[in-house]
Amino acid sequence: MARRAPLEFYDEPLPGVDCSELQGKLIAIEGPDSVGRSTQVAQLRFWLEQQGHAVIDTGMARSELTKKGIQQAKQGHTLGPTTMTLFYTTDFADRLENEVIPALRAGFVVLTDRYIFSIMARAIARGQDRKWIEQVAGIALVPHRIYYLRAEIDDLIARVVVGRGAFEYWESGMDIPIGRDRYDSFVRYQGRVIKALDEMAEPYNFTRIDASKPPDQIFRQLQKSIGRIIGVKNTTDAGEVLTF
């Protein structure tokens, strides 16, 4: 895949969008389920706002157009793999057009908890065609940086057991299904998701972060790197690491 500059479209641009008008910064935090993305996004937003930056954060299934429908379908366990992919892609496209692009025009820092790559990885993990989902992903803008919180399956299991105590239906890929029970299915499904993300890392220029490290160390690493992108000085001492 040919490299694209930040805030260009990967493929066909959305109608009426002039990328030269986008003055903000787009930062994506990627990774499998239960890897700690949301905690890092919350801490980064607090820190950036302390530094005087206007910030919005967004993530999957937050579009006003689709989030209610996604929640209802997931509660009823009625989503097939293709329907799920299209539902989440519609959610992404709506947020991109109505939240992300306006914020970038206004010069905001946009933090996104997952980006188009999680939709792609989930589709691939469910056996969908890689070329098709890559074409679908062409609607996305190229972020200034994509941080991939990389974890092994054992790390994810430990986080689920300690944090929630149970394996969630969809995070375990039980809709496929590919295991004897939720634990077995979680291991197999999340392994597929990680493999898909690993294979995207080089083509899409991910910055890999070792998610087995303590959260405060991960935050400091993100803080230092993002600080260089947006011009914040002395990032190693800036802000406070919060517990959520």
Whose CA is closest to 159, among 29, 38, 36, 32?
Answer: 36
What domains can you pick out in the chain, each with its CATH number? 20-151+206-230 (3.40.50.300)
Q: Which residue has the higher pLDDT, 84 or 42?
A: 42
User: What confidence category does residue 76 fall into, taking pLDDT thresholds of 50, 70 and 90?
Assistant: confident
Q: Are 177 and 1 in contact (CB under 8 A)?
A: no
pLDDT of residue 186: 95
Classified as helix, coil or strand, 65 is coil
pLDDT surpassing 80 at residue 71: yes
For the stretch 95-127, pLDDT in tens is: 999 999 999 999 999 999 999 999 999 999 999
Q: What is the pTM of this model?
A: 0.92
Sorting pLDDT into bands at 50, 70 and 90, what band is 77?
Answer: low
pLDDT band at 241 (very low <50, low <70, confident <90, very high): very low
Across the chain, mean pLDDT equals 91
pLDDT (0 to 100) of residue 239: 40
Q: pLDDT value at position 7?
A: 97
Contact 106, 92 (CB under 8 A): no
Amino acid at 184: D
Q: How many C-beta neighbours within 10 Å does residue 191 have?
A: 17
Label residue 1 by pLDDT band (50, 70, 90): low
Cβ-based burial of 206 (10 A; exposed 0-12, middle 13-18, buried ≥19): buried
User: How far is residue 232's CA from residue 66's CA, in Å, rounded to a whole number?
Assistant: 36
CA 92 to chain centre: 11
pLDDT for the residue 243: 35
Give the pLDDT of residue 4: 85
Which pLDDT does position 18 carry in this prediction? 95
